[in-house]
Amino acid sequence: MIGVKCMARKYHYDVLVIGAGPGGEGAAMAAAKAGKRVGVIENRQGVGGACVHKGTIPSKSLRHVVKQIIRHKISSLFRTTGDAHIFSYPKVLAEALRVVPRYVDLHTDFYTRNRATIIVGEACFVDAHTVSVKLVDGAKEQITAEHIVVATGSRPYHPADIDFDHARVYDSDTILDMKHTPRHIIIYGAGVIGCEYASIFSGLGIKVDLINSREHLLTFLDDEICDALSYHLRDMGVTVRHGEEYESLEATDRGVTLRLKSGKRIHGDALLWSNGRTGNTDSLKLDAIGLEADGRGQIHVNDRYQTSVENIYAVGDVIGWPSLASASYDQGRAAATNILGQESRFVSDAPTGIYTLPEISSIGQTENELTAAKIPYEVGRAFFKNTARAQISGEKVGVLKILFHADSLEILGIHCFGAEAAEIIHIGQAIMNQAGEANSIAYFVNTTFNYPTMAEAYRTAALDGLNRVKRI
Ligand SMILES: Cc1cc2nc3c(=O)[nH]c(=O)nc-3n(C[C@H](O)[C@H](O)[C@H](O)COP(=O)(O)OP(=O)(O)OC[C@H]3O[C@@H](n4cnc5c(N)ncnc54)[C@H](O)[C@@H]3O)c2cc1C
Ligand SMILES: NC(=O)c1ccc[n+]([C@@H]2O[C@H](COP(=O)([O-])OP(=O)(O)OC[C@H]3O[C@@H](n4cnc5c(N)ncnc54)[C@H](O)[C@@H]3O)[C@@H](O)[C@H]2O)c1
C-alpha cells in the first residue's frame, strides 16, 4: 500500500519554497494550511531571513533600546539620581539582538507545527521542477516539486570600489557586528535605512553625517512630512547633506574620509553604506530554467507573482518594489493562493512605516500627487501636542494629516509623523479601505473613541478638515 502511494507521488513536495524570510514563510504557511506537502530551503542557520537576522527586527529592536535610553536621559525622575550613563554601541546592540533567537524559535515552531520541512542549504535550479541543494556538510541533494516559490530576498548593494572588508566600513548587515562606538559616523545613502540608522546613532549621541544623493529626504513622502523629518534629524544633531554624490572612500586605521563629487571631504571614524539593495539571484542558476534577473538581481513576475515559467513564482525583495517585510509576507500568501487555484490579492497598498525618531507612516496619495492629478482635495491636520495622550507621554512632536476629496469627503491619503505613527496610520487605513461612501472623513466625527488615545488626533484632524470645507 505504501509503495503504491509513493509511486503516485511524482515530486518530493507540492510546493518548494526557497528562502525562509517573510515572503517564504507567507507562502509556506498558506500552502501547508491547505494540506500541501511543503519544503523550505534556507541557507542561513535559523529561519526569518534577512528580515530577522540583519534587517527589520535587529534595526527596530536597536531603535527600541535607543528610545528607552533617550527616555531615561530626558526623564526628570531618572535625572535626579545623578547617574551619568554612557551606553556603548556594542552594549546597546547586545541588548537589542536578544530578540533574534526568540523570534527564530517562535517561527521555527510555526514551520514544525504546520509540517513544513526545513532543509538547511543553498539552492539552485536544475530544471523547472528540480532544485539542487548544497547541504551544510557540502553534500548535494536534488529535490523535486510541482511548484516552486523563489523568496531569496536581497542583500546590501556593494559598489566594486569600496572595501567592505575594512574594519571601519560597514553596510546594513555588518553594522550589526560593529565592536566599537564611533564618535562620528558617516552614512552614505539617505534612503529608509540611512535615515533610520541616522536616528539610532544620533540618539546614542554619536555625531552623524547623512549624505543624500537627492535634493530632499525620502522624496516619496508628503513634502510636509519630509520637511519635518529633515528638521528633527538636524535637531538631533545629524548633518544632512543633500544633492551630494560619492567620488571615493579612503579608509585607514585612524578613520575614513569620504570624498564627494562636489569636492567636499568628510572625515569620520566609520562609514555605513546604505545605498540600495541587490536581489539574491546570482547563485540560483536561473539560466537552467530560462529565467533572467535584471541589473539589480530582481526577477520579473506578473500580478499573480508568477514568473515566465508557469510553475515558478517569486515574492518578496527578490521581485523589487516595495521591498518590505509587510508586503513580502502577503505576497508569499498570494503566490500560495494562486498555486492552490484560488483568487488572490496583488499587494499594491502597503502603507509606509519608517522607524526614524520620531517615526513616519503614510498611506495613499500625497499633496503633490493630488495636485498633479487636479483632484480638489482639502487637508485636515491634528498636532500631537494638542492631544491629551501626547501631553501625558511627553511625546509631543508630531502631526496627523488627512487628505480628502473636498466634495465627496473620501479619504485620499493619510500622513503621520510622530510617536507610534506606524500604528496610528492603521486606524485611518481601515476606513480608507471601505468601499463607496463608507470611506469618508466624516467617520471620525461620528464615532466615539477611547480617551485619552491617539485616535483623538483623527477626530481633531477631521474636524479641522470639515471646517475648511464648511461641512460641519
Ligand atoms: C536594515 C533594514 C531595515 C528594514 N526595516 C524594515 C521595516 O521596518 N519594515 C519592513 O516592512 N521592512 C523592513 N525592511 C525590509 C525587509 O527586511 C525585507 O523587505 C524582507 O526581509 C524581505 O523578505 P524576503 O522574504 O523577501 O527576504 P529575506 O528576509 O531577505 O529572506 C530571504 C532568505 O533566503 C535566503 N536565501 C537566499 N538565497 C538562497 C538560496 N539560494 N538558497 C537558500 N536560501 C537562500 C537568504 O539567506 C534569506 O535568509 C528592512 C530591511 C533592512 C535591510
Ligand atoms: N521601515 C521600513 O519600511 C524599512 C526600513 C529599512 C529598509 N527598508 C527597505 O529596505 C530597502 C532598502 O533601503 P535603502 O535605504 O538601502 O534603499 P533605498 O531604496 O531607500 O535608497 C537608498 C539610497 O539609494 C539610492 N538609490 C536607490 N535606488 C537607486 C537606484 N536604482 N539608482 C541610484 N540610486 C538609488 C537612493 O537615492 C537613496 O539615497 C528599501 O527598499 C526599503 O523598502 C524598509
Please tell me whether residues 192 and 149 are part of one structural domain: no
Percent of the chain with pLDDT over 70: 96
Domain count, the chain: 3
The answer to the question of whether 190 is labelled as a binding residue is yes
pLDDT of residue 3: 39
136 occurs within a structural domain: yes
Residue carrying the nine cell digits 551606553:
87
* Strands laid side by side in the 411-418 sheet: 352-354, 360-364, 411-418, 398-405, 377-383
Using CB atoms within 10 Å of the CB of residue 184, give its burial: 0 to 12 exposed, 13 to 18 middle, 19+ buried.
middle
Beta strand 169-171 with 238-241: parallel, antiparallel or unpaired? unpaired
Residue carrying the nine cell digits 536621559:
73
Q: Which atom of ligand 1 is nearest to the CA of 121?
A: 43
Please tell me whether residues 15 and 126 are part of one structural domain: yes
Please tell me whether residues 317 and 259 are part of one structural domain: no
pLDDT digits (tens, 9 = 90+) for 346-389: 999 999 999 999 999 999 999 999 999 999 999 999 999 999 99
Q: Please tell me the distance between residue 297's alpha carbon and the centre of ligand 1 in angstroms.
A: 14
Please tell me whether residues 368 and 244 are part of one structural domain: no
Of 235, 259, 275, the residue at which a domain comes to its end is 275
pLDDT of residue 83: 57
Please tell me whether residues 428 and 335 are part of one structural domain: no
User: How confident is the prediction for the chain on average, in pLDDT?
Assistant: 95
The answer to the question of whether 261 is labelled as a binding residue is no
Q: What is the ipTM of this complex?
A: 0.93
Please tell me whether residues 107 and 143 are part of one structural domain: yes
Please tell me whether residues 20 and 107 are part of one structural domain: yes
79 occurs within a structural domain: no
Of 275, 295, 328, the residue at which a domain comes to its end is 275
pLDDT digits (tens, 9 = 90+) for 245-290: 999 999 999 999 999 999 999 999 999 999 999 999 999 999 999 9
CATH of the domain at 460: 3.30.390.30
Q: Which residue has the higher pLDDT, 71 or 103?
A: 103
68 occurs within a structural domain: no
Cell of 45: 542557520
Please tell me whether residues 202 and 284 are part of one structural domain: no
Please tell me whether residues 145 and 25 are part of one structural domain: yes
Please tell me whether residues 132 and 245 are part of one structural domain: no
58 touches ligand 2 (CB under 6 Å): no
pLDDT of residue 6: 43
DSSP 306: B
Q: Please tell me the distance between residue 362's alpha carbon and the centre of ligand 2 in angstroms.
A: 17
Beta strand 169-171 with 312-314: parallel, antiparallel or unpaired? unpaired
Q: Which residue has the higher pLDDT, 471 or 51?
A: 51
324 touches ligand 2 (CB under 6 Å): yes
The answer to the question of whether 442 is labelled as a binding residue is no
395 occurs within a structural domain: yes
247 occurs within a structural domain: yes
The answer to the question of whether 191 is labelled as a binding residue is yes
pLDDT digits (tens, 9 = 90+) for 447-464: 999 999 988 999 999 999
Residues spanned by the domain of 15:
2-54+97-155+278-339
Please tell me whether residues 183 and 325 are part of one structural domain: no
List ligand 1's pocket residues with C-beta within 6 A. 18-24, 41-44, 49-51, 55-56, 59-60, 122-123, 151-154, 172, 193, 280, 283-284, 316-318, 323-326, 328, 353, 355
pLDDT of residue 2: 37
88 occurs within a structural domain: no
277 touches ligand 2 (CB under 6 Å): yes
466 touches ligand 2 (CB under 6 Å): no
CATH of the domain at 184: 3.50.50.60
pLDDT digits (tens, 9 = 90+) for 206-238: 999 999 999 999 999 999 999 999 999 999 999
Q: Which ligand is nearest to the CA of 24?
A: 1
Please, which residues have CB within 8 angstroms of residue 461's CB and are 6 or more apart in sequence? Answer: 380, 381, 382, 400, 401, 402, 444
452 occurs within a structural domain: yes
186 occurs within a structural domain: yes
- Mean pLDDT on 19-48: 98
Q: Which residues of 346-357 are buried (b: 16+ CB within 10 A; e: fewer)?
A: ebeebbbbbbbb
Q: Which residue owns the Cα nearest ligand 2 atom 12?
A: 276
- Mean pLDDT on 401-405: 98
Angle between helices 99-113 and 56-74 (to 10 degrees): 140
Residue carrying the nine cell digits 543624500:
212
Please tell me whether residues 185 and 135 are part of one structural domain: no
